[in-house]
Structure 1
Amino acid sequence: MPGTHGEHDATADPGFRPRIPAAEWDDWRWHMRKRVNTTEKARRWLRLTPDEEKAIADSAGRYRWSITPYYASLMDPDDPACPIRLQAVPAPGEFERFPGSDVDPVGDTYYRKTNRVVHKYRDRVILLVTEACPVYCRHCTRKFHTTDVSGTYFRDDEGGSFDEDLRYIAEHPEIRDVLLTGGDPLSYQDGKLEEIVSGLRAIPSVEIIRIGSRFPVLLPQRITDGLCEMLARHHPVWLNTHFNHPKEITEESAAAVDRLLRHGVPVGNQTVLLRGINDDVATMRTLMTELLRIRVRPYYLYHCDNVTGVAHFMTSVEKGWEIMEGLQGHITGFGVPQYVLTTRIGKVPLARPYFTRTPDGLSLRNHRGEEMAVDTAAYPITERDAR
């Protein structure tokens, strides 16, 4: 929120956190330059615990980390269990080993066809644009991208030509939908991003361009009128973002979403179920209804992938079922996301069914646990003989 004398007051404790001139606070490039990525910088925003300081030190040479001043301003400076803080500050759990964890459990490298194209589904691909992010989320499914050592899903250098990638897409006319991801594609300047988007739009078989970006959450100042006008020149363009907790829905993030929508860019949300952050019904209900209030459509609720360095965030599938039961029928239907597990064979829906098959038809259950039976005469289970 704006402070006095044209400054942003980043906290109620002005003796602890910095006061930032509004012109700088509103400039996304300033936030990118001033990202928190050392213990010394973090102490300007947070009172770090010994565990956090050790995890930051242990991250050196292992995992990148950085936090935009905007996202840091959402954190409780005194509570290490703050749901925003848990998503961005390194923690000891990242260095534990968990059964079955893998750097690439979803198969990105298995399905990679060029330096950037991952072709898992017949009619759509992802285009890995960059390794860079404004904040390196501790729960990232592509955490291998954020290692300080040899971790990368790119076959070649990120800065190379996109010609091979665009050629592959053009040579496969079954591809009608391309998702730009990474890293975060909006880390690129508008001009470079438009080169990529216009290159895709020049391919006749590409009908839909999607952008996966957490900038509306982590640095909403990035969603400028100029960016939105550029995207509008290449419609249909969709954007999926990644709100995980109600605290992330702020006046700034709502304004960023509004700018996208006013330029014809639909916004969907993909939440990850995270232990200690949103793994309770009340938090998830509030998140979904608040998303609807700012006109963001809940899309997926991802079960947290068993990724190396991430698995400490995983809940049980049963916990996911509990949360879905607490959403279905209790909030507006289009506010209920689809609960899925991402695997090498694709996204698999995990929602528990509200029906069972019986010898006479179906046994149905509603969100209150009430049951009724319908027989095959009223609702046939199999197709009637057409003869």
Structure 2
Amino acid sequence: SGEADPPRDRPGRMVGRREALVARPDLAGVWDAADALFPVRVTRSWWDRTDPSDPDDPLALQVLPDPSELVEAEGDLDDPVGELARSPVPWVVRKHADRVLLLVTKRCHLYCRYCFRRTHAPGDALDPSPEAWDAALAHAAASGATEAILSGGDPLAVRDEVLWDAIARLRAGTIRWVRVHTRAPITAPDRVTAAFARGLAERGPAWVVVHVNHARELAPDVDAALDRLRAAGLPVLAQTVLLRGVNDDADTLAALFEALVLRGIKPYYLHHPDAVTGNARFRVGPTEGLGLWEAVRTRVSGIALPRYVVDPPDGTGKVDVASWLARPGA
């Protein structure tokens, strides 16, 4: 299979505030204040996988607001991975000589409450102006980098034609391949059409890196979206964020990584949670996280084991947590 597009209505159908609060009336007092800081947006596909009445449901925890988002916490940072100082032009981040990252949009189909870019949203433009996007693409194409990473937001929150135009302009310069970082196959699987998958493959070499945190996210409509990517010949990797209350135990992580391998997807990164303002409830200490990773390492195949990395606030780029802990002052 993998060729037919899904017989559903528009991608990313939303669950309304009223419906969500029927399941979680305790959130009525925090919903609007949290939404003003960082949008509360949940797709129908995701909602159908959750048990929202369970306050400990790992899928509901990722998307529903919490009072802790409204108070400051120790360690809060507005730019936890040091992107602002590494942005030579708007909508571009450059941490490495061989790679350049483009923020295609700040929009997502669904907003994860732990998002390390959650402080970028309020009051900012959600999309680059045509002039700013032209400048971003021109800079990236002439940067000398060989890889372009399309990120966001979610790059699949824009039309296919915008992505195809961007890839063509990048490939006219020094860029030799692209990497697309997206959560859409998981949060809005209908967005991943067979036409999109074929179009991206035709503009390859292209790699897709999906963001998935729990095996329960891999519902049948998600599997169909992942099948469409793989049927087009696209290599698919996965990245996961270590999150308190969601996946901070070895059994849960091992189950996820093995489920991905069974689907032909290589677990690529396990990210240490970034300490962005508003996500303190999700944070796990690095020593605890390394212990979890070591426990997973003893029970899964090497192809099912991702690197456990941290993206430090100095903007120098990802490093293995074990190496980071060995640094003076870490």
Q: What's the TM-score, normalizing by structure 1?
A: 0.78
TM-aligned CA distance change 1:125 to 1:37, over 3 Å:
farther
Tell me the residue number matched to 2:24.
48
Report if the CA contact (8 A) 2:34-2:66 is conserved: no
Q: Which residue of 1 aligns with 2:327?
A: none
Alignment check: 8 A CA contact 1:223 1:259 kept: yes
Per the TM alignment, residue 145 of structure 1 is displaced from its structure 2 partner at its CA by: 2.7
Give the residue type in structure 2 aligned to 1:238. Answer: W
| Equivalent position of 1:183 in the other structure | 153
Counterparts of 1:222 and 1:28, CA distance in 2: 10
Give deviations 1:279-321, integer Å, cap 9, x for gaps.
0011011011001111111011111000001122101112212
Equivalent in the alignment of 1:373: none
Partner SS for 2:110? coil
Q: How does 1:21-170 map to 2 (within 5 A)?
A: 26-27=7-8, 29=10, 31-32=11-12, 34-38=13-17, 40-43=18-21, 47-50=23-26, 52-147=27-122, 150-151=123-124, 158-161=128-131, 162-170=133-141
> What displacement does 1:159 show?
3.1
Give 1:118 deviation, angstroms. 0.8
CA distance in 1, matches of 2:215, 2:36: 33
Look up the equivalent residue of 1:144 and give its one-letter code: T
Q: Which residue identity is paired with 2:15? A: V
Residues 141 and 171 in structure 2, CA contact (< 8 A), matched pair in contact too? no
1:151 CA drift (Å): 4.6
Q: Does structure 2 conserve the Cα–Cα contact (< 8 Å) formed by 1:144 and 1:151?
A: no
Say whether residues 1:198 and 2:172 are aligned partners: no
Distance 1:214 1:268 in 2: 12
C-alpha distance in structure 2 between counterparts of 1:28 and 1:142, whole Å: 29
Q: Which residue of 1 aligns with 2:270?
A: 301
CA contact 1:65–1:90 (8 Å) conserved in 2: yes
Q: Which residue of 1 aligns with 2:211?
A: 242
Q: Which protein is bigger by CA-based radius of gyration? A: 1
- Equivalent runs, 1:272-287 vs 2, <5 Å: 272-287=241-256
- Per-residue displacement from partner, 1:27-47 (whole Å, max 9, x unpaired)? 362x43x41352x1324xx61
**Separation of aligned partners in 1, 2:169 and 2:323:** 42
Give distance in 2, aligned partners of 1:230 and 1:211.
13
Residues 66-118 of structure 1, C-alpha deviation per residue, up to 9 Å, x if partnerless? 11111111110321211010001111121221222111111111111112111
Shift in CA distance, 85/26, structure 1 to aligned 2, threshold 3 Å: farther
Partner secondary structure for residue 285 of structure 1: helix
Q: For residues 72 and 196 of structure 1, what CA distance do their matches in structure 2 show?
A: 32
- Range with bigger deviation, 237-246 or 253-262: 253-262
**What is the CA distance between 1:221 and its match in structure 2?**
1.2
Q: Percent identity?
A: 34
- In 2, Cα distance between the equivalents of 1:323 and 1:99? 23
The alignment status of 1:270 with 2:239, answered yes or no, reads yes
The answer on whether the counterparts of 2:151 and 2:181 sit within 8 Å (CA) in structure 1 is yes
CA contact (8 A) 2:251 2:296 kept: no
Cα distance, 1:60 vs structure 2: 4.1
Instruction: Indicate the SS of the match to 1:119.
Output: strand
Gaps of 5+ in 1: 1-24, 354-387
Q: Is the 8 A contact 1:28 1:219 kept in 2?
A: no
> SS of 2:23's equivalent?
coil
Distance 2:119 2:16 in 1: 18
Q: How far, CA to CA, are the matches of 2:187 and 2:121 in structure 1?
A: 17
- Whole-angstrom distance in 2 between the partners of 1:342 and 1:258: 30
Cα distance change on mapping 1:26 and 1:275 into 2, 3 Å = farther
TM-score, structure 2 normalization: 0.91
**Whole-angstrom CA distance in 2 between matches of 1:118 and 1:37:** 34
Distance 1:345 1:167 in 2: 24
Alpha-carbon distance, 1:252 to partner? 1.6
Select between 125-134 and 90-99 the one with higher mean Cα deviation. 90-99
**Mapped contact 1:279–1:323 kept (Cα < 8 A):** yes
RMSD: 2.0
Q: Does 1:351 align with 2:330?
A: no
**Number of matched pairs:** 317
Aligned partner of 1:225 in structure 2 is 194
